């Protein structure tokens, strides 16, 4: 019995030193000032107009990119599910392959592609076509988010879809449902757990990213991730930075609870 508990040792050590302690440090810094006195000022820092604007933009862009990811991923996952095993694993591999390349490098590559004198515009100019001018705009950021996070949407949805018993789909057809009704009443509701974990896995990193907005948004587009990043690195203000992080964390946890609750209540009844 005790031996078995020992096995959890490395993980326990890991989570205490790299999750629990840092978390408490963030909480400590977020709730104190330079003198170590308790204050809510750092949390309130989120309420300044610039910060609210950054948070609002972050929310908007992550909602958009999550939606785009969902709209792209769902049909793709369905196509994959209906394929013969050999073929589909090849395409799934094609999707996972980019994930093996470092995230920073992939985003940098997009910067190179989209730049005013980048690969795409050079090509367009060469073909005498109008150039696209989206680098350093929110569009480029959404593009980057979708590109970087799409696999996180495809995989969980593919996972649940491929586990749906074909007989269940046959049963719906057998009882008179056409393919659209079968999708609406059977396939989609059964795939909701995958959809929700996909949404979580795209929405959260999109909301908190500062690398994508840095590289593809230049310094022109400020997301909440950039604000927090700059507060720590440029302003060296650990207290305000931690306070902002705390608010963002609370925000994310609250939205996840909401989603999870909807998931449970939505079981069947909603559809």
In this complex, which beta carbon is closest to another protein, that of residue 41 or of residue 267? 267
Q: How many CA atoms lie within 13 A of 223 on its CB side?
A: 27
Pair 202, 149: CB distance under 8 Å: yes
End-to-end CA gap in the chain: 46
Pairwise CA distance, residues 189 & 183, whole Å: 8
Smallest separation, CB 182 to another protein (Å):
8
Smallest separation, CB 200 to another protein (Å):
20
Residue with tokens 């050999």: 86
In this complex, which beta carbon is closest to another protein, that of residue 99 or of residue 169? 169
Pairwise CA distance, residues 162 & 81, whole Å: 5
Smallest separation, CB 191 to another protein (Å):
10
In this complex, which beta carbon is closest to another protein, that of residue 43 or of residue 190? 190
| Tokens representing residue 26 in the block | 């963030």
In this complex, which beta carbon is closest to another protein, that of residue 177 or of residue 256? 177
In this complex, which beta carbon is closest to another protein, that of residue 115 or of residue 263? 263
Smallest separation, CB 179 to another protein (Å):
8
Smallest separation, CB 77 to another protein (Å):
18
| Tokens representing residue 149 in the block | 């996070």
List interacting residues with another protein (CB under 8 A): 165, 167-168, 170-178, 181, 185-186, 189-190, 267-268, 271
Pairwise CA distance, residues 210 & 230, whole Å: 10
């Amino acid at each position: 019995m005790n031996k078995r508990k020992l096995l959890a040792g490395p993980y326990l050590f890991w989570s205490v030193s790299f999750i629990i302690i840092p978390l408490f440090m963030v909480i400590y810094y977020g709730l104190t000032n330079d003198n170590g006195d308790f204050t809510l000022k750092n949390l309130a820092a989120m309420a300044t107009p610039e910060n609210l604007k950054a948070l609002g933009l972050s929310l908007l862009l992550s909602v958009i990119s999550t939606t785009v990811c969902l709209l792209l991923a769902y049909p793709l996952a369905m196509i994959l599910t209906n394929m013969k095993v050999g073929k589909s694993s090849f395409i799934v591999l094609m999707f996972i392959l980019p994930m093996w390349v470092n995230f920073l490098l992939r985003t940098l590559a997009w910067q190179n592609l989209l730049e005013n004198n980048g690969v795409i515009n050079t090509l367009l100019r060469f073909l005498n076509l109008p150039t696209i001018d989206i680098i350093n705009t929110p569009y480029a950021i959404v593009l980057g988010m979708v590109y970087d996070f799409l696999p996180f949407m495809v995989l969980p949805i593919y996972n649940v879809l491929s586990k749906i018993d074909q007989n269940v789909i046959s049963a719906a057809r057998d009882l008179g449902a056409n393919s659209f009704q079968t999708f609406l009443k059977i396939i989609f509701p059964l795939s909701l757990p995958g959809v929700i974990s996909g949404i979580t896995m795209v929405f959260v990193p999109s909301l908190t990213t500062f690398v994508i907005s840095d590289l593809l948004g230049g310094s022109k587009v400020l997301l909440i991730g950039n604000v927090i990043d700059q507060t720590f690195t440029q302003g060296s203000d650990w207290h305000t930075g931690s306070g902002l992080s705390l608010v963002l964390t609370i925000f994310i946890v609250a939205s996840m609870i909401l989603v999870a609750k909807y998931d449970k209540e939505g079981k069947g009844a909603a559809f």
